[in-house]
């Protein structure tokens, strides 16, 4: 056997490389031929416009026909070369598929033999176990169950191994015949737990005002006045610098904590200073509880019993009493 003889894969790959190089070369020549046709046609039309004689036009038209014939020849040759490349690629793929199927079938057959050999070793061990536990059962009755299990295992495993070996060899035949996938199934990649992003470092503060900011989880976090909280370090430092919080370990924070405690209570975000945007809380109107007189009403107007019938001002019972005393009544 010649050790330098090329295998079918190398020979096929060499032929494919040659065909591809020829195809690329023909494609370049065809582009040049199409350009030459354009140039020859333009030259013939230029001569005709300039009133050239028939001899000059014959020469130009002959050059144009030659360029067109060259284009036709190169186009046909390129089509044939492309078909050759496609056929060689199919042959290469078929050869690779056959090689893979042959390797897969050999691997499956080895696996079937391995199962049978391992089953034979298991059967020998189970037989030995059944024999010695049978002798032990004559001494202690508790060994009888293990003896029965070992005998049953020999029967069950033998039948299962015969079925598995037959199925493996049937699968190998299907691989060679093309009815089953050429390659072996890939082992499942275990799913790795998703690593949680590192949490931003925080600092503990004692709030002196109602505060809010974006927490480390990206959600809006509110902190009620006189409560402890953990904020991202930049926001905690800002709150301390603005005098809206103290570090949790300061003397004032400890005194306030001892006085007011740290009982959490809900707080409206509108009533909080926004540390993220440096926005103060919204001002709310203060309800005085004072009566401002009657309002427009579609029905008959009925005044409260404590309102006098005269004067623009609202007068309560106490004010009327003061008036009565002043008049001597």
pLDDT digits (tens, 9 = 90+) for 51-86: 989 999 999 999 999 999 999 999 999 999 999 999
Place of tokens 């056929």: 87
pLDDT the model gives residue 30: 95
pLDDT the model gives residue 290: 56
pLDDT at 274 over 60: yes
> Which carries the bigger pLDDT value, residue 154 or residue 290?
154
pLDDT the model gives residue 24: 95
Question: What are the contacts of 283-289 at 24+ separation with CB within 8 A?
Answer: none
Cβ atoms 59, 44 nearer than 8 A: no
Residues 6+ apart with CB under 8 A from 200: 216, 232, 233
pTM passes above 0.85: no
Cβ atoms 149, 130 nearer than 8 A: no
The C-alpha angle 36, 38, 44, rounded to 5 degrees, equals: 100
Report how far residue 174's alpha carbon sits from residue 178's, in angstroms, rounded to the nearest whole number: 6
CA dihedral 137, 140, 142, 144 (to 10 degrees): 10
Cβ atoms 217, 200 nearer than 8 A: no
Containing 273, the helix (H) or strand (E) segment is strand 273-274
> Which carries the bigger pLDDT value, residue 181 or residue 329?
181
Report how far residue 86's alpha carbon sits from residue 90's, in angstroms, rounded to the nearest whole number: 6
The C-alpha angle 92, 93, 96, rounded to 5 degrees, equals: 85
Across 8-17, 58-67, 258-267, 291-300, least confident range: 291-300
pLDDT tens digits for range 114-151: 999 999 999 999 999 999 999 999 999 999 999 999 99
pLDDT the model gives residue 306: 53
Containing 206, the helix (H) or strand (E) segment is strand 202-207
pLDDT the model gives residue 164: 96
Report how far residue 74's alpha carbon sits from residue 29's, in angstroms, rounded to the nearest whole number: 7
Mean pLDDT to the nearest integer, 294-319: 50
Nearest to 202 by CA among 139, 248, 148, 256: 248
Q: How far is CA 220 from CA 99, 198, 206, 231, 266, in A?
A: 62, 19, 18, 11, 13
Across 93-107, 165-179, 287-301, least confident range: 287-301
pLDDT the model gives residue 160: 96
Cβ atoms 239, 207 nearer than 8 A: yes
Q: How far is CA 221 from CA 93, 156, 232, in A?
A: 62, 64, 11
Containing 136, the helix (H) or strand (E) segment is helix 54-137
Percent of the chain with pLDDT strictly greater than 90: 50
pLDDT the model gives residue 319: 44
Mean pLDDT to the nearest integer, 76-99: 94
Q: Please, which pLDDT band fits residue 197 given cuts at 50, 70 and 90?
A: low
* Sheet hosting strand 211-214, strand order edge to edge: 220-223, 211-214, 273-274
Nearest to 31 by CA among 70, 79, 66: 70
Q: Please, which pLDDT band fits residue 8 given cuts at 50, 70 and 90?
A: confident
Report how far residue 95's alpha carbon sits from residue 9's, in angstroms, rounded to the nearest whole number: 7
pLDDT at 36 over 60: yes
């Amino acid at each position: 056997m010649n050790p330098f003889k090329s295998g079918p894969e190398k020979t096929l790959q060499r032929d494919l490389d040659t065909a591809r190089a020829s195809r690329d070369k023909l494609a370049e020549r065809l582009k040049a031929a199409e350009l030459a046709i354009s140039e020859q046609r333009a030259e013939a039309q230029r001569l005709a416009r300039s009133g050239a004689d028939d001899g000059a036009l014959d020469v130009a038209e002959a050059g144009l026909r030659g360029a067109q014939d060259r284009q036709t020849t190169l186009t046909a040759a390129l089509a044939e070369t492309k078909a050759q490349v496609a056929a060689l690629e199919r042959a290469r793929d078929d050869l690779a598929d056959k090689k893979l199927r042959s390797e897969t079938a050999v691997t499956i057959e080895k696996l079937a033999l391995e199962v049978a050999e391992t089953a034979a070793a298991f059967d020998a061990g189970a037989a030995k176990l059944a024999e010695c536990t049978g002798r032990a059962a004559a001494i202690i009755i508790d060994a009888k169950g293990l003896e029965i299990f070992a005998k049953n295992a020999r029967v069950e495993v033998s039948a299962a191994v015969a079925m598995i070996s037959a199925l493996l060899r049937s699968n190998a035949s299907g691989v060679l015949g093309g009815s089953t996938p050429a390659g072996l199934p890939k082992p499942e990649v275990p799913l790795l737990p998703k690593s949680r992003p590192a949490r931003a470092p925080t600092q503990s503060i004692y709030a002196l005002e109602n505060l809010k900011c974006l927490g480390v989880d990206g959600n809006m976090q509110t902190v009620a006045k006189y409560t402890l909280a953990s904020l991202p370090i930049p926001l905690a430092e800002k709150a301390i610098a603005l005098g809206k919080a103290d570090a949790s370990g300061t003397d004032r924070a400890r005194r306030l904590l001892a006085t007011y405690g740290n009982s959490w209570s809900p707080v409206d975000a509108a009533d909080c200073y926004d540390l993220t945007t440096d926005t103060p809380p919204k001002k709310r109107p203060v309800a005085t509880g004072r009566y401002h007189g009657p309002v427009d009403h579609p029905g008959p107007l009925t005044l409260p019993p404590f309102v006098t019938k005269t004067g623009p001002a609202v007068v309560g019972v106490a004010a009327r009493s003061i008036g009565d005393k002043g008049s001597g009544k």
